Amino acid sequence: MFNFEKLDGCQKAIAFADLVYSQTQGFPNEERFGLTNQMGRAAVSISSNIAEGSSRMSQADFARFVEIAAGSVFEVTSQVFIAEKQTLLTKEQFATIYKRAEELSRMLSGLRRSLFAS
């Protein structure tokens, strides 16, 4: 087992990416290379950055990757607003993703703080 697999934040990030993928499956085909692709890539980037950062030799390097992962959470959140305004997501879908993004953002913030405290 790799170290990143033990982190709650990474597990939540993987679940978040799964949620984003499932919620964007119903987007129209013309969005396949637009918002659908962008949201999926940003969501996957979250756990990918946590995993990559966990392999770094210093806590500061790891913290930087966690910061990048948090930026990707914000990116998905921005895109969710657009998807909802374009009626690609229902208000319920928007609320679900937004709530999970808030939770994930808080977890990543806590992880980053803990890395600087170490």
**Residues 15-61: tens digit of each pLDDT:** 999 999 999 999 999 998 999 999 999 999 999 999 999 999 999 99
CA distance 31 to 60: 38
DSSP state of 86: T
Q: Cα angle at 79 between 53 and 24, to 5 degrees?
A: 95
- At 117 the pLDDT is 81
Whether the full predicted model's pTM is greater than 0.85, yes or no, is yes
Q: Into how many domains does the chain fold?
A: 1
Predicted pLDDT of residue 118? 65
Q: What is the mean pLDDT of residues 102-115?
A: 96
- In the chain, % helix, strand, coil (3-state, to 5) comes to 85, 0, 15
Residue range of the domain that includes 29: 3-117
What whole-number percentage of the chain has pLDDT above 90? 93
* CATH at 81: 1.20.1440.60
**Strand, coil or helix: 17:** helix
% pLDDT > 70, the chain = 99
What is the rounded radius of gyration, in angstroms, for the C-alpha atoms of the chain?
15
